[in-house]
Amino acid sequence: HFYVITFKVDPRRQQASGGGSSRNPFDSPFDDFSNDPSYGSSGYAGGTELVENPFSDPRGAKSASNPATKPNPYGAQPTPPSAPVKTPTGLGDYEPAPSRTQGTFKDPADDPTATVSRTRATLRKMFTFGGGGDDDQADRIIHMNDPIKNKEQKFLHNRVTTAKYNMFTFLPKFLYEQFSKYANLFFLFTAIIQQIGQISPTNKLGTAIPLSIVILASAVKELIEDGRRHSQDAETNARFVKTLHGTEFVEKRWRDVEVGDIVRVDNSGFFPADLILLSSSEPDGLAYIETSNLDGETNLKIRQALPETSNILTPHDVARLDGVLKSELPNNSLYTYEGTLRLKEKEIPLDPTQLLLRGAQLRNTRWVYAVVVFTGHETKLMRNATATPIKRTKVERQVNTQIIFLFGLLLTMSIICSAGYFIRQVSASFENNILLQPSNEALSLFFQNILTFIILFNNLIPLSLIVTMELAKYFIGALINADLDMYHEESDSPATARMSSLVEELGQIDYIFSDKTGTLTCNVMEFRMCSIGGIAYADIVPEDKKVRVDENGRESGYYTFKRLLENVKSHPTGPQIDEFLTLLAVCHTVIPETNEDEPGKIAYQAASPDEGALVKGAASLGYVFTTRRPRSVSIIVGEKELEYEILNICEFNSTRKRMSAVVRCPNGQVKLYTKGADTVIFERLAADNNASMLDATTVHLEEYASEGLRTLCIAYRDIPNDEYTNWAAIYDKAATTINNRQKALDDAAEMIEKNLYLVGATAIEDKLQDGVPDTIHTLAEAGIKIWVLTGDRQETAINIGYSCKLITEEMSLIVVNEPTHFETKEFLEKKLATVKSGLPANFGVGTTVEDDDFMTRMGRYVPLSNFPKRKKPRFKKVTLTDIEPLALIIDGRTLDFALESDIAMTFLELATLCKAVVCCRVSPLQKALVVKLVKKNVADSITLAIGDGANDVGMIQAAHVGVGISGMEGLQAARSADFAIAQFRYLRKLLLVHGGWAYSRLSKVILYSFYKNITMYLIQLWFTLNNGFSGQTLFESWILASYNVVFAVFQPIAIGIFDQYVSARMLDRYPQMYRSGQYSEFYNHRSFWSWIINSFYHSLLIFYFFAWMYDESAILPDGRNANHWLLGSMVYTADVMTITWKASLVSDYWVKFTYIAIFGSVALWFVVFPIYATVAPMIPFSEELNGLVSPMFSSGVFWFMILLVPVTAILRDYTWKFAKRMYFTRSYHIVQEIQKYNIPDYRPRQEWFRKAVHKVRMIQRLKRNRGFAFSQSESGQANLIRVYDTTRRKPRG
């Protein structure tokens, strides 16, 4: 009998307890990630995987020792999903797995990661025979204050490196990358066969030395760029932290920190490794941390030490600590931790509440003591870091393809010439009778001659192309680094091209995937406006909102906050203003912190930035929150201190959309203070509320929302003592319910949150980064589709979408919030059918591009079985014009369903038809999967991902181009990205200007490099046809070898670095020009072949003009016959003149170096050649050139020809350029003329009409969907404030 044991394990969590996995966590039926070079065997180098943001979603398990009062260290807790989430397994089937972004594990036993760990431990015990099965191998044992025992276990050091190479890997990795470029591989082959003396017609080192120079130049560039990464790593490793030695703390560098060290981290310090919190200066061992380096969020998170260690407050106390910490093995799961701490005979469980991750920062906590559990590359942050992926640009892939074409052309030419020699050797009388070559050797020489001609024509493929491209890219990257327009003075952060090899990709971006928090927004909330008693107030009153008196003598408009302070004393609404500001100062879960060095300064610690903004706003208006005790809060109003007893807190959650506090006022009156969304507050108002005030407040709410502000309604009611007594009993019973406790608490809150009286409304600004709306609007005009992938709630994301102009008023919203797989599929299919029904018949959406794939077409004629097969994209890239603008909104739970194989293509097709896509509540894994979905299935699309936190690293490295926000020191995203900028607004110039220039420059460099080499080496072909296919070269070997490194190298470099087809101002003014890069107008197969045909024409003209002038009967002035070396030198001169004229014709922008490079190349030839041709034969070296200088430069015919031939050749190019500009005009031709002649732009803008339409549409949208946005934590805060007492003096440690 056979028994099958099946373990259902979520593949994304298989590595949570250490060890690797052979299954790729990115496996998906719609995408083959295993063949992507960006990922290792398990999706990331080093066997790591993407994980979600641990700082916005809950995963903190309650401590077994104190389950009721332990505060949740994480932010908001979303509602658990109503249906299991389907997770791709890569095998075609799907297994239900809890959603990372939605689930809430009340017990560690429910955590699937913990389940995996237990399953592995069970398997290990079941199937391990004889040793290796003890617990010591499954756990990490750390001895407290015993470094000798810890060193015996040989834990990993704390040095980290994010560099691409090290001393041992540089050579193999670099050579692999270089020779994966077909041009370098071909020249390596040529250099090898050139060493066979009887085959090579040229010098043995003629290819090897130039190839070595090219490889060496690329190596220097790679070392410089990687050196920057090493210097950043060295700077990080050299930071100091205090570690315990004996009974005092001494400074030690991060790189020397070891597992088991007890460290002291002071306020504002970064954690050097993964630590377990022992104690802190705060009550009950609380500590505040900021994770902006990890997730871009600036709001503070809370950690709490174990009660058993929280009283360790001095170095002597911690030095006496004796115990053993048993920890899980290093893994990449940021939001889980399992371990135990054994103190004497007691073993205490550890959970994520005590975990301090490397890279996070201690904030508003004087100090913490902590023990090191993971160091270096074993820390959770570094286990999530990925090796720098190898990215190839679209242009490079096209170059590789065209090098294959040229190799085919070269091979064809070689076979034809070898066949010609074969025919002559068999049948020609000259070979048989004069040269006496035996015909029976013709066949054996045929194959040998093929190699000879390959060597002769080898530079048909330009050797200098790769190094010229790399050099141009490097200097373009340097220009990006030096651009003062992208320098952020406040943070001293310049733009940085960390991967200059991708610069031209910046000019071809089709999709931008952006994080929201920290990328589009500053995550800084500011209290801007409020409405109290139907009267609107504002911090700064806009010009069009200032108070005016109408014809009836009534005032209307916004008053300043200064007027509010006056009204509270004398205006009829004064009592309402007092109630409003009191509610803001009392109804919250904020904790005030005072600094002993600055006694008058209060810092408010809030889990929700919105609450912090409201409390600060109340303080600025004279209602200062000063003290929190376990059962009360104190505020100062004027000169008077008032204490309010906090009886109960009804916490916020996404279902209730409100928060309430039951308080006992100083006069003994019990009141209910409530704040929440207008939709839930209005339906709970008492019937006798002032109707005119309600109408005025509603108008103000609509105006606030139209400005993109986050709104809340403020209400209260008085509660009789007997009613409160009865309700308190119900609430206490609900709080102790075992099953469905949250529902019982919600039901209890519902009983008292009724018959409210509206006081007013608040408006908070989620401050956007400077220039974000204009940047998004401009990028959208450039044809770039922008998708926002955020962990925020849907209402918040939509409001930010409107305020930053991602979503405009004319867009229709498609909101996808389906609870099950089948409902999601049905909804998407229905919406897609509706959208497609309104499209033109020839729109082409959903058309497979398989038949249009070039390699597929080639496969009909050429066997391609040896070529690697790539998965064909499903959809063509489309331009959204003349169709209804749409915006797709989808939440993380539904996105899990949408990414499954049977729905993914439907979702993608619908999304590509939308001008904007917003994915809410998504995990980092989902971010990367969405990027991959578009990258793999939309033909010719180039993707860019931009973010600022460690949770964005996955999508940054999955995209073609990754951009990190570097506004704050040490941000993980910036270090993992290809480019780093300090502000989102700099993306506008980075793409439109630097990207547009880079694509145009590199296109010209590539085409020109192909042109100049093919022109030169086709001359060899024409000479071969005239010399009996002998394989004789027309040019001296070293002169020929110097063509690509001396005489024809500066022209493309000047074009590649300095050329501008239009100015930066014009590129920014007319963003539609960016589409030239998106659709590869400057460099494509058509332009490639047109330049190749032009090379044929120029080479024919140059060779046969001179061959006609200097035939076999030409006599030199000294009586000698003109030989082919003289002919070759003259032809070489004419070629240098022709390609130089061509360079001047294609250059659009001239600087000093352009003049020097283009005309200096010709001057260099006329100076170097006579010297070399005179001196070299005397050595002896290059004896072929002996005696050529005088007859060549003294010939009048030579001077006439080197003027006539280039002008004749270039005349056709000039005529064609004129015809294109006059009769086949492109957009950039028109802009060039606007720039040249400074023509005014008379486009009618109709601003007044646009503003009117904007206002009408905004009001219609608000009436359809007027919501709110409030990022209040879901639970856990009520317990926290019950243990906090700000009146207690904090220990100094």
The catalytic residues are 515
- Whole-Å CA distances, 489 to 204, 482, 736: 55, 13, 54
Nearest CA to 592 among 858, 288, 178, 862? 288
Q: CA-CA distance, 455 to 690, in Å (whole number)?
A: 94
- What DSSP string describes 481-549? HT-GGG-BTTTTB--EES-GGGGGGGGS--EEEE--BTTTEEEEEEEEEEEETTEEEESS--GGGB-EE
Nearest CA to 948 among 491, 614, 342? 491
Q: CA-CA distance, 1172 to 905, in Å (whole number)?
A: 65
Q: Given the structure tokens 């001008």, which residue do they identify?
A: 915
> What is the 8-class DSSP label of residue 914?
S
Structure tokens, 965: 């926000």
Q: CA-CA distance, 809 to 812, in Å (whole number)?
A: 8
Asked if residue 1180 has a cis previous peptide bond (ω within 30° of 0), the answer is: yes
Is 20 buried (19+), middle (13-18) or exposed (0-12) by CB count in 10 A?
A: middle
Q: CA-CA distance, 299 to 286, in Å (whole number)?
A: 16
Instruction: Determine the residue type at 1259.
Output: I
- Do the beta carbons of residue 94 and residue 87 sit within 8 Å? yes
Is 149 buried (19+), middle (13-18) or exposed (0-12) by CB count in 10 A?
A: middle
Which three-class secondary structure state does DSSP give residue 963?
A: strand
Residue 1039 contacts by C-beta under 8 Å, 6 or more apart in sequence?
1129, 1132, 1169, 1172, 1182, 1185
Structure tokens, 133: 């099965």
Within 1027-1104, strands assigned E span none
Give backbone dihedrals phi and psi of 660, rounded to 5 degrees, phi first.
-135, 150
Instruction: Determine the residue type at 404.
Output: I
Q: Could you give the angle at which helices 691-706 and 1247-1264 cross, rounded to 10 degrees? A: 120
**Exposed e or buried b per residue across 1182-1199, where buried means at least 16 C-beta atoms within 10 angstroms of its C-beta:** bebbebbbeebeebeebe
- Do the beta carbons of residue 331 and residue 383 sit within 8 Å? yes
Chain centre distance of CA 175: 27
DSSP3 helix / strand / coil % (the chain, rounded to 5): 45, 15, 35
Nearest CA to 273 among 243, 232, 250? 243
Give backbone dihedrals phi and psi of 658, rounded to 5 degrees, phi first.
-160, 165
Q: CA-CA distance, 989 to 991, in Å (whole number)?
A: 5
Q: What is the largest CA-CA distance in the chain?
A: 130
Which three-class secondary structure state does DSSP give residue 812?
A: strand
> What is the 8-class DSSP label of residue 1047?
I
Structure tokens, 984: 């989102």
Q: CA-CA distance, 76 to 1273, in Å (whole number)?
A: 4
Q: CA-CA distance, 761 to 763, in Å (whole number)?
A: 7
